[in-house]
Amino acid sequence: MEKIDTYTLATQVSDEDYLNMSALGALSPNYVKKVLAKGDLLRMTKGETLFKSGEKADCFFIVLRGRVKIYLNEGKTKKVYRITDIGESLGFASMLGLRPRVCNAVIDTDCIVLRIGGLSFADLYKEDIHEFAILFMNLSRDMSRFLHQVTEDRIEKGDEGI
């Protein structure tokens, strides 16, 4: 894991790219810059662990480049529940609910992620309430899509634990 700056990021992600990201779409370019400035930009390589089940969730992540696998350990096997794509968020539900992480996240392809801590997220509210509402809706949609996919998968497999 290596921290990078916004200048390095700009060589790999354009302003137009942000418009197509589920977590950042519909936000003004100025607010996207504020979001980027409030977080840590991390370049990570395939196989690195982003977070583990049981860890304190004091932040969430947005994938700016690459993909991340979300999985649970089931005995000796790893059950992949989702592979995130560019622009998707992960870890938001646990941070928002003040709960430990329930899944593991491992880098699937070399990527760049934005890590936003809980206090920084709260600061974004103070920056612009209207833009924050759009960001919050975007993150909630990502969370909903993840929960929907996991639920569908478990129903298809006849999981009685639902």
In order along its 162 residues, the chain shows pLDDT tens digits of 999 999 999 999 999 999 999 999 999 999 999 999 999 999 999 999 999 999 999 999 999 999 999 998 767 778 888 899 999 999 999 999 999 999 999 999 999 999 999 999 999 999 999 999 999 999 999 988 887 777 777 677 776 554
The confidence score (pLDDT) of residue 149 equals: 78
Rounded-to-integer distance, Cα 104 and Cα 114, Å: 17
The confidence score (pLDDT) of residue 150 equals: 72
The confidence score (pLDDT) of residue 159 equals: 63
The answer as to whether 80 is a domain residue is yes
The answer as to whether 93 is a domain residue is yes
The answer as to whether 161 is a domain residue is no
Reduced to 3 states, what is the DSSP secondary structure of residue 32? helix
List, in sequence order, the alpha helices (H) in the chain: 6-10, 15-19, 29-38, 92-96, 118-127, 129-156
Cβ atoms of residues 63 and 85 within 8 Å: yes
What are the C-alpha distances in Å from 47 to residues 64, 71, 91? 17, 13, 18
Q: For residue 10, give both structure tokens.
A: 């700009």
Q: For residue 31, give both structure tokens.
A: 């607010």
The answer as to whether 68 is a domain residue is yes
Of 63, 82, 61, 60, the closest CA to residue 71 belongs to: 82
Note if the pTM is more than 0.85.
yes
The answer as to whether 38 is a domain residue is yes
The answer as to whether 104 is a domain residue is yes
